[in-house]
Amino acid sequence: MIKVQIVRNEASQIVDCHITGHAEYDEHGYDIVCAAVSSLACTAVLGLEQVAKQRGTYTNSSGDLIIKLDGEITDQSQTILETMMLGLEEISKQYSDFVTLSDM
């Protein structure tokens, strides 16, 4: 199962995102759920780095993705992350046996 944990600051801005696990919807290389989650998350990281120029730590290793924002949180970064969340929420509705979301 893929677990998505979102952490928000006191202003309700997304400041951390941890995506761990594997969907196991299908065999490796054919898992559309893993591919969808990975595509959304990796595109969000590219947007944070290259479009929003958001400072932070972005780690993608061993199937886990961690986003930790620091410094001033930009409106652009929040737009990118909230859009990512919309996609992840939709995937978790359609594939609830394979993806869970926790938004704190």
List, for residues 46-93, the tens digit of each pLDDT value. 999 999 999 999 998 877 999 999 999 999 999 999 999 999 999 999
For range 35-52, the mean pLDDT? 96
Ranges 26-30, 31-35, 68-72: which has the least confidence: 26-30
* pLDDT for res 28: 83
Q: How far apart are CA 20 and CA 16, in angstroms?
A: 13
- Nearest 10 degrees: Cα torsion 39, 78, 13, 99: -20
CATH number, domain of 71, equals 3.30.70.1490
The model's pTM:
0.92
Average pLDDT, the chain: 95
Domain around 23: 2-103
For range 7-20, the mean pLDDT? 96
- How many structural domains compose the chain? 1
